[in-house]
Chains A and B, each alone.
Chain A
Amino acid sequence: MRGKRMLKTGGLIALWIVVALFLLFPFYYAVVSSFREGSAIFEASLWPANPTFANYEAVMTDQPFAKNILNSLIVAFSVVVLSLGLATFASYAFGRAKFKGRRLLLYTILGVSMFPQVAVLSGLFEIVRLFGLYNNLLSLVFSYMIFTLPFTVWVLTSFMRDLPVEIEEAAIMDGASSWTIVTKVFLPLLAPALVTTGLLAFIAAWNEFLFALSFTLTNEQRTVPVAIALITGASQYELPWGNIMAASVIVTVPLIVLVLFFQKKLVAGLTAGAVKG
């Protein structure tokens, strides 16, 4: 009996190790490679023989990578703040107010997110040009909301719907306006949902490539994914793997930090509403 149970536990641990390796090894290899220089990068070993920061230095000096990171941060934070702000009020209307065409409008919003990015790219490009936003970070903030708003609105609407009506009515009896109800009563209750959707929106904006590539021209306006993709070597025959790996590690770290920081709220947000209580 005992042997059987140990076998079972052992099997389970082995399975976890395999899963963890599968998920983490690519990132581990990127980290390790980023500390290797020159041809050492093609050595098949698990640990760099002579770890060096040369790649990191090169990334930061060969191009305005710090500026690119800053751009990405500005764009991603603006997208998160704007989408959450708009989505909170939209979800109050969708979740609480009764009006004609509510379903239609909700599905239209969902429909927006169904178009592949390439399909809207040329049209969006014209709009960006029309507003004179080409090669401007605002064009990215604007276009990213196409994919962040539908899901923030939908997720927050379903959360808003689950908030007890009586709490809202109690606030109404207390003399609260709709604005006060949303900002003072509902917003704090939606915090877990806001963290979850905000983080997802942040990641989506942080990683976006196609729009960022199409709507920016100069190195100074690029966001990180584009900057990394456009890192070039000394000649067209050289792909500077070391620099690319170093850059990838740099841009992954903020995401990991964010997720770890909000971990507790994140799990609460992902599972809230699943079980009553």
Chain B
Amino acid sequence: MSSVRLEGIAKRFGSTEVIRGVDLDIKSGEFVVFVGASGSGKSTLLRMIAGLEQPSEGQVFIGDSDVTDAPPSQRGVSMVFQSYALYPHMTVRDNIAFGLKLKKAGKAAIEEAVTRVATMLEIEGLLDRKPGQLSGGQRQRVAIARAIVREPDVFLFDEPLSNLDAALRTRTRIEIKDLHRKLQATMIYVTHDQIEAMSLADRMVILNGGHIEQVGPPAVLYHEPATKYVAAFLGSPSMNFLPPELAGSTEAAEIGIRPEDVRVAASGLPATIEEIEELGETRVIHARLESGDPVALRDRDLADPHIGQNLSLEFDRERVHHFDADGKRMPG
């Protein structure tokens, strides 16, 4: 395992700048997730670490060595692709062994490594099959096995779960986390799914328009977002953004309050229910304040809410976020 350091990374495709001025330190053994909307540059950043893309400016360090100009195979990284990218004409065994064979590893060593990795991922029974005969989840495991077998310093994952169905995704998510604990390896993971990002990450990197919006542990980003963008990006439904007067603020340009921090109270801001989403363990109520501003809230207690019903809403004062005119979060 190795640390990864990005210094002043920029990437231009023709005249479009997709990454600008990215500095990032990833500690050895850390699980870092790049998350952002599509077009935020998260995949490009990962591909530059992999060596599949060359940065227009800046340097990539893996461990202590500058690998900016090194070919992918000499960086000590391996990658799991979104489409798994297994070699369709090879058996699972050959897929896993391909990299080792190119490295001219001995036959016995290859066999031993393949068996060990296959056992770890519980795919021993599939070694003689072709990828076409496997389910999506099994292909995913083979792709991960292929990445592990080379014993890389850094693992790169490019949206590896987005082709799986929801149940399998949740399960594989836990397995990847488990794998990280077992291997103690540095892992960099790209996703657009914020739940996936939050559940996996030691630290999250939120990208927006090619620059880093904020870096930090998921809970910190969730509870202390540095900018309005981060505040809005994390959490579903999204944070409510309201005029500052509603929270009695005079300095802020805008205030934000998460749906779970809005309560139905005996007295408070009057509102009318416009839509109800029943989610089972909770429900999301979309209401409109008298001022005309929409507010979403999580609620479990209302007896029989219906559209058009009038409510009084109260904000958890402690949890109100204040943003200045530039969208920066203000202390207090």
Contacts and interface: CB of A to CB of B under 8 A. Distances in A.
B82 interface: yes
B71, B86, B102 — most chain A CB neighbours (10 Å): B102
B85 A164 contact: yes
B87 A175 contact: no
Interface stretch (B73-81, B256-264, B282-290): B73-81
B88 interface: yes
30 contacts: A164-B83, A166-B81, A166-B83, A166-B85, A167-B85, A167-B86, A169-B52, A169-B79, A169-B85, A170-B81, A170-B85, A170-B87, A171-B87, A172-B72, A173-B52, A173-B77, A173-B78, A173-B79, A174-B73, A174-B99, A175-B72, A175-B74, A175-B99, A175-B103, A176-B73, A176-B98, A180-B102, A188-B89, A189-B88, A189-B89
Contacts of A169: 52, 79, 81, 85
B78 A175 contact: no
Interface residues of B, number: 23
Interface in A146-177: 164, 166-167, 169-176
Interface size class of A (residues with CB under 8 A): 10 to 19
A172 B87 CA distance: 12
Nearest to A167: B85
Contacts of A176: 73, 98, 102
B132 to A, nearest CB: 11
A118 B50 CA distance: 54
Nearest to A185: B87
A172 B70 CA distance: 12
Given A167-B85, A189-B89, A174 B102 contact: yes
Contacts of A171: 87, 98
A180 B73 CA distance: 14
A173 B83 contact: no
A188 B89 CA distance: 7
A179 to B, nearest CB: 11
Contacts of A185: 87
A167, A169, A174 — most chain B CB neighbours (10 Å): A174
A63 B249 CA distance: 107
Given A164-B85, A169-B81, A173-B99, 13 more contacts: A169-B85, A170-B79, A170-B85, A170-B87, A172-B52, A172-B71, A172-B72, A175-B72, A175-B102, A175-B103, A176-B73, A176-B98, A188-B89
A174 B98 contact: yes
Interface in B30-71: 50, 52, 71
Contacts of B98: 171, 174, 176
Given A173-B72, A173-B78, A167 B87 contact: yes
Interface of A: 164, 166-167, 169-176, 180, 185, 188-189
Contacts of B99: 173-175
Interface in B136-168: 146, 150
A164, A171, A173, A176 — most chain B CB neighbours (10 Å): A173
A64 B253 CA distance: 98
A174 B50 CA distance: 11
A164 B150 CA distance: 23
Contacts of A170: 79, 81, 85-87, 146
6 smallest A-B Cβ distances: which pairs? A175-B73, A174-B99, A166-B85, A170-B85, A188-B89, A166-B81
Interface string B309-322: 00000000000000
Contacts of B74: 175
A166 B71 CA distance: 16
A173 B87 contact: no
A171 B86 CA distance: 9
Given A164-B83, A167-B87, A173 B73 contact: yes
Contacts of A173: 50, 52, 72-73, 77-79, 99
B50, B71, B98 — most chain A CB neighbours (10 Å): B98
Nearest to B78: A173
A185 B102 CA distance: 12
Interface string B97-123: 011001100000000000000000000
Nearest to B97: A174
A49 to B, nearest CB: 55
A168 to B, nearest CB: 8
A132 to B, nearest CB: 43
Nearest to B77: A173
A180 B90 CA distance: 14
Nearest to B103: A175
A175 B72 CA distance: 7
Contacts of A167: 85-88
A48 to B, nearest CB: 49
A183 to B, nearest CB: 12
Contacts of A189: 88-89
A148 B46 CA distance: 43
B34 to A, nearest CB: 18
A174 B85 CA distance: 12
A166, A167, A170, A189 — most chain B CB neighbours (10 Å): A170
